[in-house]
């Protein structure tokens, strides 16, 4: 009887603090808060179109150069891990198609969705970006030029790049990593609007 009363009291206390308790329990394991992205309207006051375009790209650069993205866009055969971008452990290589070597395919460990209990990210298309799309070790200016080059961007037009950045759900994983991994800045929708504004302003690159 006594235990029942205590339990009832605890439950009603939990209800009283309600949603705020629930929310803090959900967000508590994130070690580092994600950054923010400035809205496109912030850039309106830059009157020179080229300068505005470059500034917009520098803003999206916060996401593009984030380890959540670059860990999968390495310049070699091996992905990297965590914010420190250490070499992937265990040792895995891209294999013929970015899906991993036979016997060590990415999908052996990376499943269709994040596996929070073991801290393993997941997505149905988890694989390494092709070598020509490597971003590691490059400046933002070099990545910018590469993004516009059909030979190195998967034969995409600028409109396709906007679409890929704004809509692709593997790109979207960057905002929804497994528990404890810091997401990239802002939201994918904000990121998409910035990329579109960059393209609409002439897709100029930083120098």
* Choice from 165, 166, 193, 205 touching ligand HEC (CB under 6 A): 165
Does 174 engage in binding with ligand HEC (CB under 6 A)? Answer: yes
Minimum distance of ligand HEC from residue 123's CB (angstroms): 6
Minimum distance of ligand HEC from residue 139's CB (angstroms): 15
- The answer to whether 92 touches 149, Cβ cutoff 8 Å, is no
- The answer to whether 153 touches 133, Cβ cutoff 8 Å, is yes
Strand (E) positions, 84-172? 86-87
Does 55 engage in binding with ligand HEC (CB under 6 A)? Answer: no
Neighbouring C-beta atoms of residue 9, cutoff 10 Å = 10
Minimum distance of ligand HEC from residue 128's CB (angstroms): 4
Residues 86-125: x where in contact with ligand HEC by CB under 6 A, - otherwise, as a string = --x-x-x-x---x-x---x-x-xxx--------xxx----
Find the angle CA(145)-CA(53)-CA(191) to the nearest 5 degrees.
85
In 3-state terms, what secondary structure has residue 146?
Answer: helix
Does 199 engage in binding with ligand HEC (CB under 6 A)? Answer: no
* Choice from 40, 147, 194, 197 touching ligand HEC (CB under 6 A): 147
Site stretch for ligand HEC (CB under 6 A), options 4-12, 13-21, 25-33, 71-79: 71-79
In Å, how far are 23, 76, 77, 121 from 130, measured between CA atoms?
38, 10, 9, 19
Largest CA distance in the chain: 75
Find the angle CA(93)-CA(172)-CA(191) to the nearest 5 degrees.
120
Looking up tokens 């961007």 gives: 153
* Choice from 37, 79, 190, 199 touching ligand HEC (CB under 6 A): 79
- The answer to whether 98 touches 77, Cβ cutoff 8 Å, is no
Residues near ligand HEC (CB under 6 A) = 63-64, 67-69, 71-73, 79, 81-82, 88, 90, 92, 94, 98, 100, 104, 106, 108-110, 119-121, 126-130, 133, 147, 153-154, 161, 164-165, 170-171, 173-174, 181, 184
């Amino acid at each position: 009887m006594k235990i029942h009363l205590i339990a009832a009291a605890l439950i009603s206390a939990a209800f009283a603090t309600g949603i705020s308790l629930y929310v803090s329990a959900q967000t508590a394991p994130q070690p580092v808060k994600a950054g923010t992205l400035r809205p496109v309207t912030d850039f309106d006051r830059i009157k020179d179109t080229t300068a505005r375009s470059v500034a917009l790209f520098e803003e999206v650069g916060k996401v593009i150069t984030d380890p959540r993205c670059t860990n999968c866009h390495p310049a070699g055969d091996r992905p990297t891990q965590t914010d420190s971008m250490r070499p992937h452990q265990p040792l895995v290589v891209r294999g013929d198609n970015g899906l991993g070597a036979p016997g060590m395919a990415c999908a052996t460990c990376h499943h269709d969705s994040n596996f929070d209990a073991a801290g393993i990210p997941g997505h149905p298309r988890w694989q390494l970006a092709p070598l020509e799309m490597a971003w590691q070790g490059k400046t933002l200016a070099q990545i910018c030029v590469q993004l516009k080059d059909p030979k190195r961007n998967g034969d995409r037009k600028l409109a396709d790049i906007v679409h890929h950045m704004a809509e692709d759900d593997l790109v979207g994983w960057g905002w929804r990593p497994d528990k404890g991994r810091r997401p990239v800045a802002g939201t994918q929708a904000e990121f998409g609007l910035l990329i579109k504004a960059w393209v609409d302003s002439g897709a100029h690159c930083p120098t």
